[in-house]
Amino acid sequence: MKKVLLITCFVFGLHQATYSQVHFGIKGGINYNSNSIQDVSEDVFDGAKSKTGYHAGIWLRFKIPVIGLYLRPELVYTNLENSLQYNNGLVQKNTTFSFQKIDIPVLLGKKILGIGNIYIGPSFQYILDQDFSISDIPNVEGDGFTLGLQFGGGIELGRLGIDIRWERGFNDTESRFLDGATTVRFDTRVNQIIVGLSYRL
C-alpha cells in the first residue's frame, strides 16, 4: 500500500505535466547526513559520525497556471552512511550503518531574477535496505515509509542547474536489531543537507 502511494504521487505529477509547459531532466549529487543515528533506548552506540552519501534520479517541472509557481516532482535513489562505535558488551567496535531509500520530493517553487529558484515541499521516502558492516549485529528491521520536508534554492545556467537543500524528517522512524535477548531500538530519521547538480534534457 505504501509503495502504491509513492508511485501514485509520481504518476499524478506525470499526468499534470501533460497539460502544462513541462521540463524534465536528470540529477545527481552528494548528501551530508547530519544525524541519522540517535539512541532511543539503551546506550549501545557511541561516537556516531556522519559520512557523505550520494543520490541520483530524474525530475519534472511544470508551471501552475495563474499563480506563477511551478511544481517539481522527483524520483531519486539515495544512499547514506554513518560511521559509529558499537558496544557489544565486551569491547568497542567500529562499524558503518548504511541505508538506501527511494525519495519522491514534490516541491512547490518559484523562479526569481531569471536564473534563480526557491522551493519547498514534502518528500515521501521508502527505505529499501539498511545494514551494519560487522557480523555480530543481526539483521536490522525498521519502518519502511517515512515523510520529510525539503526546502532550498538554486540557480540555472542554460540547461545546467545547481541547488542546495535542507531536509528534515517529520515522523519518528525506529529501527531495531536483536542483541542477545534484548531488542535494541534506535532512531534513524534523516536530517540532511543535499547538494545537487541537474541537467535539463
Query: Cα-atom radius of gyration of the chain, to the nearest Å?
Result: 19
pTM beyond 0.95: the answer is no
In percent, the amount of the chain with pLDDT more than 90 equals 34
Higher-pLDDT residue of 36 and 118 is 118
Sheet containing 141-142: order of strands = 38-39, 182-187, 174-179, 141-142
- Grid cell in block for residue 140: 536490522
pLDDT at 17 over 70: no
Amino acid at 146: T
The whole-angstrom separation of Cα 79 and Cα 53 is 6
The whole-angstrom separation of Cα 182 and Cα 184 is 6
The whole-angstrom separation of Cα 111 and Cα 58 is 20
pLDDT in tens, 120-143: 999 998 888 777 766 666 666 666
In percent, the amount of the chain with pLDDT more than 70 equals 62
Q: Which residues contact 100 (CB under 8 A, 6 or more apart)?
A: 77, 78, 79, 80, 127, 128, 129, 130
Q: Which residues contact 177 (CB under 8 A, 6 or more apart)?
A: 132, 137, 138, 139, 140, 141, 183, 184
The whole-angstrom separation of Cα 193 and Cα 131 is 22
pLDDT of residue 105: 95
Q: Could you tell me the pLDDT band of residue 73, with boundaries at 50, 70 and 90?
A: very high
- Grid cell in block for residue 118: 526557491
Higher-pLDDT residue of 2 and 169 is 169
pLDDT in tens, 131-174: 776 666 666 666 677 888 999 999 999 899 999 999 887 765 55
